[in-house]
Every structure is written in structure tokens, then in C-alpha cells.
């Protein structure tokens, strides 16, 4: 019974834990190379304050407890970006913009969802505070694709969306009453042509403007007779040029689920031909103390989904026979070897999963 873990929580064992740590280090290195410096917020915060920066309802998914010190409710973070935004807006609020921050840490949810059964996941990401321009998006998307490359993600792909597209059109050339707007958004997101036709048939061509990037952008451009989307289309095209050839690209301009808090741009990251998202990002708004708003652009990766199975992991281990002088083993470690010393006469290279044996001062393959 003591071996049993709660649903959605798990141990990571050898060699997977080392492989995951190695991948995380490479991903963070790729992000760091673009000037994103690490911040490390605490596991728990005051629930109320954290809730103001989380998506609506997200606090209900957080583990909460009463702090015996302050007698207030604390929450274990269900998401790291809310904390990083807090740091950018408060403790680093005086720093010249843009501010580039990176992070990696565990997040915990009270309940798992059907789509993501893990309750504890590892989140890695980068956020650029102060800009949501095309140049900012080009950089952030480049960092994201560099991060996937560092993790050896096969066949990376990116799916773009325009989260405020329907709002923009409804406020301009294709008016929709506010009471029907949310319904329209949902039906477009669901590609429900009948539903869209019943509410606002003018929006129907948007459903066809999804798919491989070039073709979808062309359809979006044809749809945009009034030019109200021109800057967005130009931005998407510029971002796509930045990534040209590095990654497969698609556009789903009305996808909205999970992008409710993004402004003009959102994107999902995929790899290995899987339909399971391994990361997402986009442009958004951060609220400073006092209420001032600031543009931001960033992305997060779900680190657990970066680890293929079986992992690519070098597990060379040098068996050091019982009685070998300590200095001889130390010399092999200095030369880069992982040494596994026999501490009893009966220990064997096989029991210790060793690939090599130290004999006559040299490593011999087994």
C-alpha cells in the first residue's frame, strides 16, 4: 500500500529522470542564449493575489490551504506564468523594457482533466515583457522553436491563431450583437458551420481559412475585403518568414479554446506527428499595481511531453573493481567517466548496469 501514489502523481525513475533533467537543461540553455534570465517564484502564494493573475476559474483547480502564520489562504501554483507576470509587474517593474525572463518549475493541480491526466507537471518557458509587436512575436517564436530543437523534438510544428479576430470583426465590418458574440466564438472554434450560419453567415469563410499556413493565409486575405485584418495578416506572414523551413506551420484563425487571455496572436507547438500540444504561447496583457497595462509575449512548454519513449540517454557506466585505489577512480571521473565502485568483493558490473570495466588503469567495453 505504501507504494501506491495518488492518481495523476507519479515517480520518475532511472534512466528517465536523468533524461528529463538533461532535456530541461538543454531547453533552458537555448532560451538563455536569447538573453532570457531565470526567475524562480515560490511553490505557494497568497491565493487571492495569485487568483487575480490566473485565468478565470483556475484558482479552483489549485491546491489551497490555510497558512498557520498569516491565517490566510495560500495556493500551490497551478501555473507559473501568473507568477512570472507578477514579478515583471512588481519587483522588476522598474527595469527597462523589454524584460526577458525564463522559468522552469513544477505546477500542481487539485484535479486532473481528461485531456491532461497528470496533476503535477513541469512547466518551462520564456516571457518578454513590454512588447507584443511583430518583432517581439518573431523573437519569441524563434526561441520556442530553438527550445524544441534543443529537446530533439522530431518534426516540430506550430499552429497559429488570432484570438481577438472575432471581436475585431464584430466591432468593425461584420457587426454581431454582444449577446450573440460568445456563442459565435464557440461555434467558430468548434468549426460548426451550421451554427455559424444561423448566427452570422458572413463569418462562414473563416472556417475554411484553417489549414496549412500559406493556403489558410491566402483565404484569410481574400476574406478580409475591408482590410481590417491587414496588420494581423502582415504580422503572421512576417513571423512565418522568420521560421521558414524550420518547422511545419498551420493557421487556425478562429481557434480560441485556451487562448481567451491572448491578444492578437496565439500559437500551439506540436512535435513527433502527435496531436498532443507540447507548448503554447502568444501575446497578452499584464496588469501592474495601480492598474496600468503592459503588453507581453511568451510561451510555455509542458516539459513532460518533451520526453520521448524510450529517451535518448547516454548511460555509459564504468565499473570500478573492489579494492581499486580511490585515486584511480577519481582520475576516470575527471576524464568524464561515470564510475560505479564495487563496495564488496561480490559486486559485479552486470548488477550495476555497467557498460565498461576499469582494468589496468583503462576502461574496457563489456
The reply, when asked if residue 189 is annotated as ligand binding, is: no
- Cβ-count burial 25-47 (b if 16+ within 10 Å, e if not): ebbbebbeebebeebebeebbeb
Binding positions for a second copy, 284-303, rule CB under 8 A: 289
Report the distance separating Cα 85 and Cα 81, nearest Å: 6
| Distance of alpha carbon 174 from the chain centroid | 34
Rounded Cα–Cα distance for residues 233 and 321 (Å): 66
- Residues 137-176: x/- map of binding to a second copy (CB under 8 A)? -xx--x----------------------------------
Q: Binding residues for a second copy, how many (CB under 8 A)?
A: 90
Residues between 299 and 338 with contacts to a second copy, criterion CB under 8 A: 317, 326, 333, 337-338
Near a second copy by CB under 8 A: residue from 108, 199, 216, 307: 108
Residues of span 31-60 touching a second copy by CB under 8 A: 32-35, 37-46, 49, 52-53
Going by C-alpha positions, the residue among 108, 128, 104, 153 that lies closest to residue 277 is 153
> Is the Cα torsion angle 214, 189, 51, 104 positive or negative in sign?
negative
Which range, of 8-16, 177-185, 202-210, 274-282, touches a second copy by CB under 8 A? 8-16
159, 256 contact by CB (below 8 A): no
The stretch near a second copy (CB under 8 A) out of 62-70, 154-162, 191-199, 210-218 is 62-70
Total Cβ atoms within 10 A of residue 168: 16
Q: Is 351 strand, coil or helix? A: coil
Those residues whose C-beta lies under 8 Å from the C-beta of residue 240, and which sit 6 or more positions away, are 213, 217, 249
The residue from 23, 59, 76, 158 that contacts a second copy (CB under 8 A) is 76
Over the window 231 to 250, marking each residue x when it contacts a second copy by CB under 8 A and - when it does not, the resulting string is -----------x--------
Tell whether residue 17 is a contact of a second copy (CB under 8 A): yes
Helices 230-243 + 213-223 axis angle, to 10: 170
Interface pick for a second copy out of 168, 263, 324, 352 (rule CB under 8 A) = 352
- Which of 115, 179, 309, 343 is close enough to bind a second copy by CB under 8 A? 343
261 vs 337, which CB is nearer to a second copy?
337
Distance in Å, CB of 34 to a second copy, minimum: 6
Stretch that binds a second copy, among 86-94, 232-240, 256-264, 276-284 (CB under 8 A): 86-94
Single out the segment in contact with a second copy by CB under 8 A; choices: 27-35, 152-160, 248-256, 271-279.
Answer: 27-35
Task: Verify binding: residue 72, a second copy, rule CB under 8 A.
Answer: yes
184-213: which residues touch a second copy (CB under 8 A)?
none
| Contact present, 34 and 28 (Cβ < 8 Å) | no
Mode of pairing for the β-strands spanning 248-251 and 318-320? unpaired
**Smallest gap, in angstroms, from Cβ of residue 103 to a second copy?**
8
Residue of the chain from 81, 86, 156, 269 that contacts a second copy (CB under 8 A) = 86
Tell me which residue has cell 534543443: 150
The closest of 177, 179, 200, 178 to 188, measured between CA atoms, is 200
- Residue 123 marked in a binding site: yes
**Whose Cβ is closer to a second copy: residue 133's or residue 186's?**
133
Q: Which three cell numbers stand for residue 255?
A: 481557434
Q: Which is nearer to a second copy, 15 or 173 (CB)?
A: 15
Residue 81 assigned ligand-binding role: yes
As measured in angstroms, the least distance from the Cβ of 137 to a second copy is 10
**Cβ-based nearer residue to a second copy, 72 or 155:** 72
Q: Say how far apart CA 41 and CA 57 lie, in whole Å.
A: 21
CA distance 350 to 356: 10
d(CA 354, CA 344): 16
Pair 74, 67: CB distance under 8 Å: yes
Binding residues for L-histidine: 79-81, 123, 127
**Binding site: what residues are annotated?**
79-81, 123, 127
Amino acid at each position: 500500500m505504501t507504494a501506491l501514489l495518488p492518481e495523476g502523481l507519479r515517480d520518475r525513475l532511472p534512466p528517465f529522470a536523468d533524461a528529463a533533467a538533461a532535456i530541461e537543461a538543454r531547453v533552458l540553455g537555448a532560451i538563455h542564449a536569447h538573453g532570457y534570465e531565470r526567475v524562480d517564484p515560490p511553490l505557494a502564494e497568497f491565493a487571492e493575489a495569485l487568483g487575480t493573475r490566473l485565468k478565470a476559474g483556475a484558482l479552483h483547480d489549485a491546491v489551497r490551504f490555510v497558512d498557520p502564520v498569516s491565517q490566510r489562504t495560500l495556493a500551490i501554483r497551478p501555473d507559473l506564468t501568473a507568477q512570472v507576470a507578477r514579478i515583471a509587474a512588481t519587483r522588476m517593474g522598474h527595469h527597462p523594457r523589454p524584460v526577458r525572463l525564463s522559468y522552469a518549475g513544477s505546477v500542481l493541480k487539485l484535479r486532473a482533466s481528461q485531456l491532461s491526466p497528470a496533476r503535477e507537471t513541469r512547466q518551462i518557458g520564456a516571457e518578454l515583457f513590454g512588447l507584443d509587436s511583430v518583432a517581439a512575436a518573431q523573437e519569441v517564436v524563434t526561441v520556442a522553436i530553438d527550445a524544441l530543437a534543443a529537446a530533439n523534438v522530431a518534426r516540430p510544428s506550430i499552429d497559429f491563431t488570432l484570438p481577438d479576430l472575432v471581436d475585431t470583426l464584430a466591432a468593425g465590418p461584420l457587426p454581431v450583437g454582444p449577446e450573440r458574440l460568445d456563442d459565435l466564438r464557440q461555434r467558430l472554434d468548434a468549426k460548426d458551420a451550421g451554427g455559424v450560419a444561423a448566427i452570422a453567415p458572413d463569418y462562414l469563410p473563416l472556417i475554411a481559412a484553417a489549414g496549412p499556413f500559406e493556403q489558410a493565409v491566402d483565404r484569410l486575405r481574400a476574406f478580409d475585403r475591408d482590410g481590417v485584418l491587414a496588420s494581423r495578416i502582415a504580422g503572421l506572414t512576417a513571423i512565418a518568414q522568420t521560421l521558414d523551413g524550420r518547422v511545419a506551420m498551420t493557421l487556425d484563425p478562429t481557434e480560441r479554446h485556451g487562448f481567451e487571455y491572448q491578444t492578437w496572436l496565439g500559437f500551439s507547438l506540436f512535435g513527433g506527428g502527435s496531436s498532443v500540444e507540447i507548448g503554447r504561447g502568444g501575446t497578452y496583457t499584464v496588469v501592474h499595481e495601480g492598474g496600468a497595462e503592459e503588453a507581453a509575449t511568451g510561451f510555455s512548454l509542458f516539459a513532460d511531453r518533451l520526453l520521448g519513449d524510450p529517451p535518448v540517454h547516454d548511460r555509459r557506466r564504468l565499473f570500478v573493481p573492489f579494492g581499486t585505489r580511490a585515486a584511480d577512480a577519481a582520475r576516470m571521473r575527471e576524464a568524464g567517466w561515470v564510475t560505479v565502485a564495487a563496495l564488496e568483493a561480490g559486486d559485479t558490473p552486470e548488477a550495476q548496469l555497467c557498460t565498461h570495466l576499469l582494468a589496468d588503469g583503462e576502461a574496457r567495453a563489456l
